């Protein structure tokens, strides 16, 4: 289902559909954030920078994937994708958005941020 050179990090079921957040890897070993819906893969990035997908949640018709992307300066930035459009959660330090919880019309995202700063410990979107 995932194919070669891929990993699954989170699975969720919404109605009758199965969603998996994870990554596939280029021939050079660079991660491409993606998700699978009922076995069909959708890439969230194009491989021009490292990106990892950790969590996935469905809010009404929105597919929300949490993760991180790597800057040109090799720093991890926490982010999420809504229907394939990336939105950043942090602008400094190394950070990642590791999970998501959907309640009604709210999506709650958790993650980490290093060094010891407080600009991202969780966010409702």
**Other CB atoms closer than 10 Å to residue 81's CB: what's the count?**
25
Residue 121 confidence (pLDDT) above 70: no
Residues 83/62, Cβ–Cβ less than 8 Å: yes
Per-residue model confidence (pLDDT) at position 33: 97
Arithmetic mean of pLDDT, 119-123 = 57
DSSP 13-63: EETTEEEEEEEEE-TT--EEEEEEETTEEEESS-SSS-EEEEEEEEETTEE
pLDDT band, very low/low/confident/very high, at 12 (cuts 50, 70, 90) = very high
Q: Are strands 85-88 and 94-103 parallel, antiparallel or unpaired?
A: unpaired
Please report the pLDDT score of residue 93 as a whole number: 82
**Residue of 116 and 26 predicted with greater confidence:** 26
**Distance, C-alpha 27 to centroid of its chain:** 21
More confident residue, 70 or 4: 70
Q: What's the average model confidence in pLDDT over 79-93?
A: 93
Closest CA to 57 of 112, 110, 121, 7: 110
Whole-angstrom Cα distance, residue 57 to residue 11? 9
């Amino acid at each position: 289902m995932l194919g070669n050179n891929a990993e699954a990090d989170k699975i969720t079921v919404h109605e009758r559909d199965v969603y998996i957040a994870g990554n596939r890897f280029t021939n050079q070993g660079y991660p491409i954030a993606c998700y699978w819906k009922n076995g069909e893969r959708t890439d969230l990035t194009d491989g021009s920078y490292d990106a990892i997908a950790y969590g996935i949640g469905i809010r009404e018709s929105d597919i929300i994937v949490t993760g991180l992307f790597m800057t040109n300066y090799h720093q991890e930035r926490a982010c999420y994708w809504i229907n394939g459009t990336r939105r950043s959660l942090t602008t400094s330090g190394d950070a990642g958005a590791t999970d998501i919880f959907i309640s009604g019309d709210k999506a709650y995202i958790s993650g980490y941020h290093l060094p010891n700063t407080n600009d991202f410990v969780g966010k409702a979107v």
